[in-house]
Structure 1
Amino acid sequence: MSLTALIIDDEPLARQELQYLLERAGGVEVLAQGTNGIEAVELIRTHKPDLVFLDVQMPGLDGFGVLKKLLDRKVPMPQVVFATAFNQYAVRAFEVNAVDYLLKPFDRKRVMQTIEKAQARRVAPVESASDAKLDALLRLVEEQTQAPKANSGKVIVRAQSRLLLVDQREICFASIEEGTISVVTRAVEGQSNCRTLEELMDQLDPETFWRAHRSYVVNIQHIREVVPWFKSSYQLRMDDAQKTEIPVSRSQTKRLRELFNL
């Protein structure tokens, strides 16, 4: 009897690749695909699958947040296979009770092993994880995978299916649009896993980074030019490749003048 499964990943190519490998492997019926954590919670609640292939890093509600939501709502926990591009994680954290892991890019043999492991557990299930034990696992994994803090000098930026550790001094600016945070350097443009600019700011040096606008955080060391704008307002021309112009909100005009003695 086939395992029923869901695939949850915000990357279309990753979903397609995993669907293809599962079809080739056999023994798994994919009921649906989801593109984010919110969809994941609802799909798991609705379909009650045997197995969920769950991306760790997703904008908004990430893989860990999905499991927390399931625990909070008392939804029966399926077997969970985390998908991640971080090969430096402590793998044993994923191998507790019904939890497994797959590294991106996916490997056919490793997918087969995961399916065999899940099928074996259905035939001879191991002791199920208690809420307390699973919660402890989530805390452990989150501690190992959370973005580096300001004292490390590094920020995680997701670009072209890679997770890069970027020196925060190289960041020109960050912006948020429809809940997605973009981070721009002279060489790289990608997305942050933070949910808000406030959360990103907590990782950055407050002496260097300034919230010039509700939608923008700028590195003052990468401001190329201050451009006078309409009605005593200003824009900042940054030194990234696109020479991006960023508005300064009226509430931050005083701070701008203090920074540059305007």
Structure 2
Amino acid sequence: MNVLLVDDSRLARNELRHLLQAFPDVQIVGEAKHAAEARTQVRELRPDLLLLDIHMPGETGFELLASLDVAPHVVFTTAYDEFALRAFEVNALDYLLKPIEAHRLAAALTRARAKLQPAAPSASPPSSPPEEVASTPLTEHDQVFVKDGDECWFVRLSDIRLFEINGSYTQIYFNQHRPLIPRTLQHLEQRLDPRVFFRVNRQQIINLKWVENIQPWFSNSLKIQLRGGPEVEVSRQQSVRFRELLSL
């Protein structure tokens, strides 16, 4: 995978070079200090991926993308979190906040590889609709983009205490917010780290690190109080799994 670094900070580019040494399949084909230089290099070098800063002298990273006839895949690298919504509106693969953490960069590169890998031919249709195909596994340290109507958030998974079915949507509990997303629990369960997120019943997945209190309940089941609420009832079958998971 050929990568072009675009950042007006030499220190930031050097840090990315250092982090990318851990990925032998990644080749840095060039560096650019501003949009005009990057535009020339994109045309001449045809990189697969841009690691792109937003604030640069002259044009911003968004203005650079708007000026390209054919743009590579993009991962934004920035010190500002307020541009997350706009970044995903231009189909960025990821949005990394400086200082960039190695595991976040690794996850972004995994997404880029998945985009660059040609799909294998298949004689039969997929067994599930595209929106239900599991993508790159997520850790509790990952941040995800959540949009509900006109509101949007860039939230770390460790801050989400509960996923709960609400009609044909899933409701997410973090801070005082309760947005709805068009995803099933089955899809989320495939993507979330099972060491942190546990399916307590058919309708709810909890973050184990938000468990405040556990009580015996009917028919050898359990009831769990989450910090900040609510209470959730663990099905009898999942209560057995819960005890096994958390026992020595």
Give the TM-score normalised by the residue count of structure 1.
0.43
Higher relative contact order (CA 8 A, sep 6+): 1
